[in-house]
Amino acid sequence: MNCSQQNLIKNGLLIILSLCLFISCEKKEKEKIIKIIDDKAIADENQSSDWLAYGRTHNERRFSPIKDINVGNVANLKVDWFLDLPNDVSLVSTPLVVDGTMYFTGTMNIIRAVDAVTGKLLWQFDPKVREAIKGKRQVGWAHSRGISFSEGKIFTATWDGRLIGINAKTGKEIWTAVTFDPNRSLFISGAPKAFKGKVLIGNGGTEEGPARGFVTAYDAETGKEAWKFYIVPGNPADGFENEAMEMAAKTWNGEWWKNGGGGNAWHGFTYDEELDVLYIGTGNGSPWNPRIRSPKVDDNLFLCSIVALKPDSGEYLWHYQTTPGEAWDYNSTMDIVLADLKIDGEDIKAILHAPKNGFFYVINRKTGKLISAEPFTEVTWASHIDLKTGKPVLTEGARYDKGPVDIAPDSWGGHTWHAMAYSPQTGLAYIPTLHRTDKYSDEGVVYDGWQSKEFSGGIGVSLSPADKQLSDHPSSLEAIDPVTQKKVWSIPQKDFWNAGILTTGGNLVLQGRSDGKLLAYNAKTGQIVWTFNIGLGISAPPITYKINDKQYISLLVGFGGGYARGGIDAYSLGWSYRTQTRRLITFSLEGTAEMPALSPRHFPKPIVDQNFIINENLAQKGYNEYWKCFNCHGDGMYSGGLAPDLRASGISLSKEAFTAVVRDGIKNEMGMPSFPDMTDEQIENLMHFIRKRAKETSVDYEHLVSKAIEKHSEE
């Protein structure tokens, strides 16, 4: 071998060596790019780049350790990018951020993927909910609270009851599962929960028909049903599905199955990766009146409970019932937050839970045993929770069995689905809290033969304004120490409804308000450290993420949720249907985006048609039809922005146009369901009622508008 040959070999070896190095480097690089996002990764509280689950991690704390944006510099927060969503209405959902891409669901369950750094739209997936609802009666709303991610897939559940697996890279559908018969009066507004190769979903509709609540888990790869868990027992004559149902049936009497029983789990699913347990929050009874449901009032398991299940099989493990024999719509479908607490020197794996009933519960999640429960808002239905039995001690006549009674919280609850948060840094839970009292009465209720039917369920109780509101503010943000149950700080708010919370390692709490402002608070003290006027009511919770060493805060803006359907207060906010463009907005400390201002508050003016002779008798009949419309068009026909204000709509002036919309469904594309079996007479009656409402509310219009503007003029 000569020198040059030797050199050649040497060089060859070198080339091979460097090639090897290059390949291994590239491999490492690729490993870095293709992150493995399994349940362990989704449960990791220290991960700081992404927002991988509804509550950021499996623990549902909505706490991010990122502290680049903090109490000291949050005043410099500016808009980095924004995306207008002109066809969306109600935006209440939590976006996810996975590996540089943001995914979110909008109105009609349309999923969008955007570059989380630039806001550029990458793909859009339309599950064609508009087509699915065509010609069908619908209940519930066209909005969704979120989506779920696991191993390269996005999961979404649609209003009409489908669960869909989508390829996160391409936006293409992988599978679809139909989770209930679409002709039933059920709906989905909740986020599915992906865990351990499965995806869980429940549904809502307790008030709409004879509903028997259930949750179903599907295989994440194939969409095949893996297991189903019923929340209340069915007719014993048909046999019980499992021992848990047999046990639950002992807490019911009469023929409860005829009205379904209820318990629908429409929100509040948490997977405990550490203990390998799945917790579901369950809903209220169907109907609300417990004496119709099950005449000798009893606990009625598993209504208003947290139920712990084996994630692989859906088998029952334990339950804790927050509201036995519930009578007030006190869902326990609110967030189930996992926290590690030190209580009396002992390390406790805890659940934090603030259901509608107004008590803040700390529960040992290994045993299901109650540790503490104290009111976080005004509570009149129970004096306290007995820590020995774990049960509430009811006040006299609270179940309206001794006549009409004022009850707090009302059926909106002390806290509803708006996300709460828990910061392990401050040790505080942050609860978007509601303060309302309402009068409950069973006067006029015919107990004998009471039967709810699909799409006309009813609740078996009448509600009217309370003699006195117990709080001088309708909502507040409460910071509570779950170890001591002490309120550490409290911020009263002027408007009802109360969006979800984000808390961060920068000692921040961020929350949007119904009045269109996004605020940052000092997480320890509650001091306001930043306010940004977005100019449109906020109902969604903010999220945060970090890419290329830069922290972002992002949220969807579009007043929504059940309250946004209307009523005089929601209408008075001025976030009217399609007036202010709904948006996705992302902030950073270096943001330079110029975001055009939104249209000012708008209050649709009732049209008084002098040529229309209102027949009082027909208008009264129309009032009885209106319950089919009020879920979108508003209590008292005051729209809160989810749908057009019928008093101000030209369509409701023409029988031809009105029939085309209501019966023939020509506005299906916009989300208006059709009512194919509505008769000419019923349509006529509705038109008389609309004109009547327009006329009687027009008298007070100017006064109402000036009051609304004045209320929000300062600051």
Terminal alpha carbon distance of the chain: 89
| Of 201 and 508, CB closest to Ca ion | 201
Is 549 part of the annotated catalytic residue set? Answer: no
- Tell the smallest beta-carbon distance from residue 638 to Ca ion (Å): 22
Of 373, 518, 101, 98, the C-alpha closest to 509 is 518
Give the pair of three-digit tokens for residue 430. 């942050």
Task: State the minimum distance, in angstroms, from the CB of residue 396 to Ca ion.
Answer: 25
C-beta of 35: minimal distance to Ca ion in Å?
39
Other residues' Cβ atoms within 10 Å of the Cβ of residue 388: 7
Report the nearest approach of Ca ion to the CB of residue 263 (Å): 10
Compute the least distance from the CB of residue 356 to Ca ion, in Å.
8
Q: Is residue 407 a contact partner of residue 439, using CB atoms and an 8 Å limit? A: yes
Nearest residue (CB) to Ca ion, 47 versus 284: 284
Rounded Cα–Cα distance for residues 78 and 595 (Å): 10
Q: How far apart are CA 286 and CA 456, in angstroms?
A: 12
Q: 10 Å Cβ neighbour count for 138?
A: 24
Alpha-carbon distance 672 to 219, whole Å?
Answer: 33
Beta strands in 460-536 (DSSP E): 462-465, 475-481, 486-493, 501-504, 508-512, 517-522, 528-533
Beta carbon nearer to Ca ion, 211 or 341: 211
Q: Between 284 and 511, whose beta carbon lies closer to Ca ion?
A: 284
| Residue 582, phi then psi, degrees to nearest 5 | -70, 150
CB nearer to Ca ion: pick between 51 and 417: 417
User: 453: closest CA among 210, 181, 206?
Assistant: 210
At closest approach, how far in Å is the CB of 512 from Ca ion?
24
Any idea what the Cα angle at residue 298 is, between residues 293 and 300, rounded to 5°? 65
CB-nearer residue toward Ca ion: 284 or 332:
284
Name the residue nearer to Ca ion (CB basis): 329 or 410: 329
Residue whose tokens read 């009471």: 450
Cα 228 to chain centroid distance, Å, stands at 22
Q: Choose between 284 and 682: whose C-beta lies nearer to Ca ion.
A: 284
CA distance 357 to 379: 8
Which residue in this structure is represented by tokens 């269109």? 516
Contact (CB, 8 A) for 471 and 435: yes
Least spacing, CB of residue 304 vs Ca ion, in Å: 10
Phi, psi for residue 456 in degrees, rounded to 5: -150, 60
Q: How far is the CB of 410 from Ca ion (least distance, A)?
A: 12
Q: Summarize as ranges the residues that interact with Ca ion (CB under 5 A).
A: 206, 284, 329
Joined together, the tokens standing for residue 327 give 């009578």
In Å, what is the CA distance from 33 to each residue of 21, 38, 119, 154, 293? 18, 15, 20, 19, 55
C-beta separation of 698 from 690 below 8 A = no
Task: Residue 335: name the closest of 145, 96, 139 by CA.
Answer: 145
Question: What 3-state class would DSSP assign to 343?
Answer: strand
Q: Rg of the Cα trace of the chain? A: 26
CB 645 within 8 A of CB 638: yes
Secondary structure of 513-529 in the HEC alphabet?
CCCCEEEEEECCCCCEE
Cβ 217 to Ca ion shortest distance, Å: 23
Shortest CA distance to 520 belongs to which of 61, 74, 63? 74
User: What's the rounded Cα separation, in Å, for the pair 691 and 619?
Assistant: 8
Q: Kind and range of the H or E element at 692?
A: helix 680-698
Q: How far is the CB of 251 from Ca ion (least distance, A)?
A: 19
Of 177 and 327, which CB lies nearer to Ca ion in the complex structure?
327
Nearer to Ca ion, 206 or 216 (CB): 206
| 205/459 Cα distance (integer angstroms) | 11
Query: Is 269 within 8 Å of 202 (Cβ atoms)?
Result: yes
Q: Assess contact for 393 and 384: CB atoms under 8 A.
A: yes
Exposed/middle/buried for residue 579 (C-beta within 10 Å: 0-12, 13-18, 19+): middle
- For the bound state, the minimum distance from the C-beta of residue 141 to Ca ion, rounded and expressed in Å, comes to 13
- Tokens 């023939």 found at: 664
To Ca ion, the closest distance from the beta carbon of 324 in angstroms equals 17
- Which is catalytic among the residues 329, 442, 515, 645? 329
Helices and strands (H, E) in the chain, number of each type: 11, 40
Smallest Cα–Cα separation from 334: which of 297, 293, 391, 377?
377
Q: Which residue's CB is nearer to Ca ion, number 284 or number 685?
A: 284
Nearer to Ca ion, 125 or 214 (CB): 214
| Burial 471-508, CB ≥16 within 10 A → b, else e | beebbbbbbbebbebeebbebebebbbbbbbbbbbbbb
Q: Which of 139/557 has CB closer to Ca ion?
A: 139
CB of 139 to Ca ion, least distance (A): 12
Token pair 């309250």 is found at 563
Which residues carry out catalysis?
Answer: 329
